Every structure is written in structure tokens, then in C-alpha cells.
Amino acid sequence: MLVEKAKSRDAENTKQAILDVAEKLFSEKGFSGVSVRDISEASGVSQSLIHHHFGSKHALYQEVKRRAIERFWHKWHARTSAITHRPNIIREGIETFYWFVRDNQTIMRLSCWACLEGDTDLWPGEKETMDFLAQEIAEAQREGILRNDIDPIMLTILIEAASFFWWQYRANLVKLFEGSGRSAGEIDCEYLQTITKILLCGVLTHQKQTSGSKEELH
């Protein structure tokens, strides 16, 4: 049998190399900010080979996003499996989500670009990611640990919002604490503690709350 020249005539390898580089660049500069030439030069693969494998720049972009979401979902699933259960599900959910977002900036940025670009139809793993927390919350409500006049999905969104927003605008936000002598890392932790405290207990003083209350506030 013939031995392959072993140069790099490995289509799958080449495709993955292209995808890795494309993911990095698209995440940094968005779709319009990156040219196929950029990807070609950064990956050492010729332009035409990129077109050969993916058809067009747009199709490559879609594949980058698809793959990233898939990886995200797998990582999230693995991480959340380790969460111990009630009664601390909320605290752990917030912490897990918060650090997970920090550790997955690439896909967070991809998702943000995609949102601005009007891409709303994708995210096969997005719903599942949300549902995992939402189901745990619903269970905690049934057990009476959490007030049951709150939609679990709404609460999940708020947790996601608190984490996403911080890491998205972190460079700007830490500037608001200039002069306080705290490092950015310390502020990260303090923000997490604060949102946990507020989500769990609220901000009002003298708050007396009954389980499953249905009274309107004020």
C-alpha cells in the first residue's frame, strides 16, 4: 500500500486548523472585521483551500459559531453536573455561571457579535444551557426553598444578565472603582458576592417576606 506523503494532506486536520484560527479572529474582530486573507495568513493555509473546504466566508463563519456553541454546551454540561444540589442551588448556579462566562470569553464575544449582526436563529445549545438552571430552580421552588411567585426562566435570565454584562463591559466597569485601591481581580470577586447577596436576599431593609406570597409590592 502507498504511504501518504505525510506533508499535510489531511483534510480533517486542515479544516480544524482553519476553524481554530477563524474562531479566534472572528471572536476578536467580528465577521466584517476579518478577511479570508487574514485567516489564510494566520493559519498558513491558502485562501482557495479555505474556500474549497467551506464554500464561502459566510459558511465558514456559521460553522465556527456552530462548533463553538456545541463545545460550550458540552463544557457547561460537564461543569454543572458537579453542582451539589438544594438548598444551595442558586448560590452555586450564580457562581458557576459567573466564572464559566469569564473562562469562555471567546464564545461570549462570538455570541455578542452574532447578536448585533441580527443572528437569532442559531444556538442549538443555548436553550438547553438555560433550561438546566431553570429546572433546578423550579425544583427548589417545589421544595419550598425559593419563593414560587417567580418564573424560573426569568430568574435564570437575570443570573445570566448579571454575569454576561460584567464580563462584557468589565474593562469599562472597573474604571468606576478607580481610587478605591482594589485590584480588578478583587472587584470581580466583590461583584460576585454582591450580586449573590442581592439575588438571594434583596436590597430592602426590614424586609419580612412570607413563603409563596402573592401580594403585590407597593
Residues in contact with DNA, shown as a per-residue x/- string from 156 to 195 under the rule CB under 7 A: ----------------------------------------
The residue (of 30 and 83) whose beta carbon lies closer to a second copy is 30
Residues in contact with DNA, shown as a per-residue x/- string from 9 to 48 under the rule CB under 7 A: xxx-xx-------------------xxxxx-----xxxxx
100-139 binders of a second copy (CB under 8 A): 109, 112-113, 115-117, 120, 123, 126-127, 130
Q: How many CB atoms lie within 10 A of CB 92?
A: 17
The residue (of 7 and 206) whose beta carbon lies closer to DNA is 7
Comparing CA positions, the residue from 170, 210, 214 lying closest to residue 190 is 170
Instruction: Give min distance, CB of 113 to DNA, in A.
Output: 14
Task: Provide the 8-state DSSP code for 175.
Answer: G
Peptide bond into 87 cis (omega under 30): yes
Contacts of 156-163 with C-beta under 8 Å, sequence gap 24+, read 156/130, 157/130, 158/199, 159/93, 159/94, 159/97, 159/133, 159/199, 160/97, 160/130, 162/94, 162/98, 162/195, 162/199, 163/94, 163/97, 163/98, 163/100, 163/101
Residues at the contact surface with a second copy, assessed by CB under 8 A: 29-33, 88, 90-91, 109, 112-113, 115-117, 120, 123, 126-127, 130, 144-147, 149-151, 153-155, 157-158, 160-162, 164-166, 168-169, 171-173, 175-177, 190-191, 194-212, 217-218
